[in-house]
Structures are given as structure tokens and as C-alpha cells.
Structure 1
Amino acid sequence: MSMLTPPGMGGKYRITGDKFPHMRRRPRGRGRIALVLAASAAVLGLLGWGTFQLIGVFVDGGTADAASGPKHCPRPSARPAQVKKVPAPDQIKVNVLNATPREGLAKKTADELKKRGFTIGEVGNAPKTYDKKVKAAGLLLGAPTASGGAFDVLGTQLTGAGTRTDTRKGGDVDLIIGDGFKQLTTPAAASKALATLRAPAPAPAPKC
């Protein structure tokens, strides 16, 4: 045994002469290191993408573009509902015309409409164009501007009346009483219909 041989080591580890044994080293876990690096890169990528999403939401006021994800609709503001603007009965001049063979029907109807607040114009028989030719309860005739305004208000007083526009320039409306007419709607029903007509319209939804 050589003096260079450590105590207790003999056999193949015995050192003789000028040659030294080489200890075989175990190879390092290269595969494990590569796996750890790949996992770290994936985690960093997810964190970066999430941060980009949050920045986009706050910068755009709650809206992300199509590339970064779904759009977020802002909350609607607490705006009051819009009340529908319809003319009052006293702002509507009504000509009551009778197209039926029943006498006195135009005056009776005109008197009742006057009690309900309408302004009464001409009262009499319908012209030949409509005389005995209106089969419905009545026909409301007026200028195009009467649509959506005077027609709707006057229509609350008579169920089943049709509407038609002509070339007149004024704001008056003709109520031509037809064969199907029996009576005006009751004051309570007419008031309820008029209140519904004026009911507040819902505030428009926000556009996303």
C-alpha cells in the first residue's frame, strides 16, 4: 500500500506508483432543469397576460377590445325616465261631423267632448266624400302632424276609430262619426288611457 492511499481504502482504490484513481461523477439532472425553466416561463407569460387585461379594463373605462377579451358594458346612469309629450285636450280643435243617418249625434258628441276639455270647432254633417261611407265607429281626419299627437289623444275618447291624413295646413282634427258608433268611452276609461299615453318612457339603454 502506498503512503498516498487513505486509510481503509484498498483494492481498486489502492494508489500505487504515480497513478491516481479518478472518481466517477454522476451526471447532473439536465432534464429536470429544463422542465423547471419551461414551467417558470409559462407562469411569467400568464402573469403578463393578466396584467395586460387589467390595464386594458381600467384605461378603456371598463371596455376591452376584441383582441383582449369580451367587452364590458358600463353601468347605466341614474337618469329620470322621459315623459311623453302629447298635446292637452284643450290644445286640440275638433270638428265633429256625423256620417250616419241618426240626427243630433254630432251635437251630442261635441257637447260631451267639450266637457272633457277639447276645443270644439265645426259641428254638423259629414261631407259627401264620407257621408254614410264610414262603417267603423269613427274616423279621425287631420294633417300629417296629427299622427302621434292629436290622433292619439282624441283616440282615447273613442274606441275603434280609424285615422287618415289629408293636405290641410291647420292643426284641427275631424271626428267623423261612423255607423259603428255607440258612445264615447267613459270619462274614467278615457282618463286612464290618457294617463297611460303620457306615461314616462324608459331611459335609453347604454350603447356598448
Structure 2
Amino acid sequence: MSMLTPPGMGGKKFRVTGDRYPRMRRPRHRRRVLAALGTVAALGVLGFGTVQLVDVFTSDGSGERDRSTQAKSAAGGGETCEPTTEAAAPPEAPEPTSVTVNVYNATTRTGLAQETADALAERGFTIGEVENAPEPLDGRVEAPGLVLGAEAANASGAVGLVTAQLAGAETGDPETAGEAGATGPAAVDLVLGDGFTNLATAEEAEVHLAELAVPVTEPAPDDADC
């Protein structure tokens, strides 16, 4: 009998029998790690949801307005709306032969009205009266000239055509046209003032007439719909 055999065993050999084996258990520290990760994930979800709710209830809507503005800008190519109102284009100038010009001298220079009338006749204008200026205008015109015409003469372009012939000429209120006597759509009074030296050249008159024909563009009211 071997010295390692327990007493009473008689030296018999034994073997392990049966179908039950010891069970292997996972280390407890892995369970703790998984539980900690789950807790962190849950807290992250709850925190994100809280931020979203706070944003919903405290937002003043400016974000939505900003997004709407950006969408409109993108749809319109990024251009800024700048509404404008374009004035009606001035009427086309009539032919000089269809316009009758009354020439009046409001200065102390003798013969000035006749000289100017002859120069206008050479440009094709029909000449009417050639006189000294009526008393309400005599000696009271400081500009090179004052062009007067009735409302119809302004609408027909006759006033603009005569104004283009004299650099620095002023135009009077159509209601004052009766001061000299022009009436109708084709009659214009040209009152020569102290500032008169000579008529504009034909080329200068053409340029001035072209400038008068350009319509003026003005900004539309602030509440205009784009």
C-alpha cells in the first residue's frame, strides 16, 4: 500500500463518476463595468432630451425667422429686394416747326429779343410775338431765360424742346403762363433774363434734350411689396 493511500482504503483505485461538474461563474467586476456603462448612456439620453425641451419652451421664434429668411434668400438667388418706382417717360419732343415761340426781353439790352427770335427761326421754330417782357416780368428774371407754357404745352413736350435751346433756362409754373400770353399745346413763351448771353449750340441742345427724355427712377415706399 502506498504511503499516500488513506487508511482504510485498502489500496483500491477509485475513479470519478457521475454527470455533474463544477459551474464556471463570470467575474463580478465585468458586471459592474456593464452596469456603469448603461447608467452613463441613460444619463446622456436624459440630458439631451432636457436640452431640447428647454429650447422649445424658451425659444422666441427668431431661429425659425432666420431659417425662413435664409430660405427666401436662397430661392431668390441671394439678391436683396430693392423696390423702385419708375416715373413715366417724358413725351417725345415735337418738331420745331410745330412749336410757336413768343420771345420777350426782360433786360435793358435793346434788340435782344429780335436777335434770339432770328436764331430760333433758323432752327426751325415758328416765331410768334417778339416784344419787351410784360410788366410783371420786366427786369425780374435773373436766370438766362424763363420758359413758360400751359399744361398742354408741357404735356406735348414743347416746353422741354424750347428749354433745351438755352443752357440754364428755368421753367415756370404752367399757371403763370398767362403772364406773357402763351396758350395751347404748341405755344411757348421765352422770357430772356439778365443771365442771358447766347443760345446753346445745336449740339448742346440735342444733348440737353436727350437728358430730359430719360425717365427718373425713384425708390418705392418702404411698405412696398416685393
| TM-score, normalisation: structure 2 | 0.55
Aligned to 2:11: none
Unaligned 5+ runs, structure 2? 1-15, 53-63, 82-87
Which amino acid in the other structure matches residue 22 of structure 2? Answer: P
Aligned to 2:22: 6
Label 1:112 to 1:207 Cα distance change in 2 as closer, same or farther (>3 A).
farther
Contact 1:86–1:150 (8 Å) recurs in 2: no
**Alignment partner of 1:182: what SS?**
coil
Aligned to 2:207: 192
Aligned to 2:137: 130
User: In the alignment, is residue 156 of structure 1 matched against residue 171 of structure 2?
Assistant: no
Which amino acid in the other structure matches residue 98 of structure 1? Answer: N
What is the alpha-carbon distance in structure 1 between the residues aligned to residue 21 and residue 102 of structure 2? 133
**Alignment partner of 1:29: what SS?**
helix
What is the alpha-carbon distance in structure 1 between the residues aligned to residue 214 and residue 124 of structure 2? 20
Contact 1:98–1:178 (8 Å) recurs in 2: yes
**Alignment partner of 1:130: what SS?**
coil
> Is the deviation greater in 130-139 or in 23-32?
23-32
**Alpha-carbon offset, residue 194 of structure 1:** 1.4
Q: Which has the larger radius of gyration?
A: 2
**Alignment partner of 1:69: what SS?**
helix
User: In the alignment, is residue 140 of structure 1 matched against residue 154 of structure 2?
Assistant: no
**Alpha-carbon offset, residue 100 of structure 1:** 2.3
> Is the deviation greater in 120-129 or in 175-184?
120-129
**Alpha-carbon offset, residue 96 of structure 1:** 0.7
**Alignment partner of 1:154: what SS?**
helix
**Alpha-carbon offset, residue 174 of structure 1:** 0.9
Contact 1:87–1:153 (8 Å) recurs in 2: yes
| TM-score, normalisation: structure 1 | 0.59
Contact 2:105–2:112 (8 Å) recurs in 1: yes
**Alpha-carbon offset, residue 145 of structure 1:** 5.0
Aligned to 1:100: 107
Contact 2:150–2:177 (8 Å) recurs in 1: yes
User: In the alignment, is residue 170 of structure 1 matched against residue 204 of structure 2?
Assistant: no
Contact 1:96–1:106 (8 Å) recurs in 2: yes
Which amino acid in the other structure matches residue 197 of structure 2? Answer: K
**Alignment partner of 2:68: what SS?**
coil
Label 1:203 to 1:177 Cα distance change in 2 as closer, same or farther (>3 A).
closer
**Alpha-carbon offset, residue 184 of structure 1:** 0.4
Contact 1:141–1:164 (8 Å) recurs in 2: yes
Aligned to 2:12: none
**Alignment partner of 2:101: what SS?**
strand
Aligned to 2:195: 180
Identity in percent:
40
**Alpha-carbon offset, residue 170 of structure 1:** 2.3
Contact 1:150–1:173 (8 Å) recurs in 2: yes
**Alpha-carbon offset, residue 65 of structure 1:** 7.4
> Is the deviation greater in 185-194 or in 84-93?
84-93
Contact 2:93–2:160 (8 Å) recurs in 1: no
**Alpha-carbon offset, residue 150 of structure 1:** 3.8
Contact 1:139–1:163 (8 Å) recurs in 2: yes
Contact 1:98–1:125 (8 Å) recurs in 2: yes
Contact 1:89–1:119 (8 Å) recurs in 2: no
Aligned to 2:8: none
**Alpha-carbon offset, residue 146 of structure 1:** 4.9
What is the alpha-carbon distance in structure 2 between the residues aligned to residue 131 and residue 22 of structure 1? 121
> Is the deviation greater in 30-39 or in 111-120?
30-39
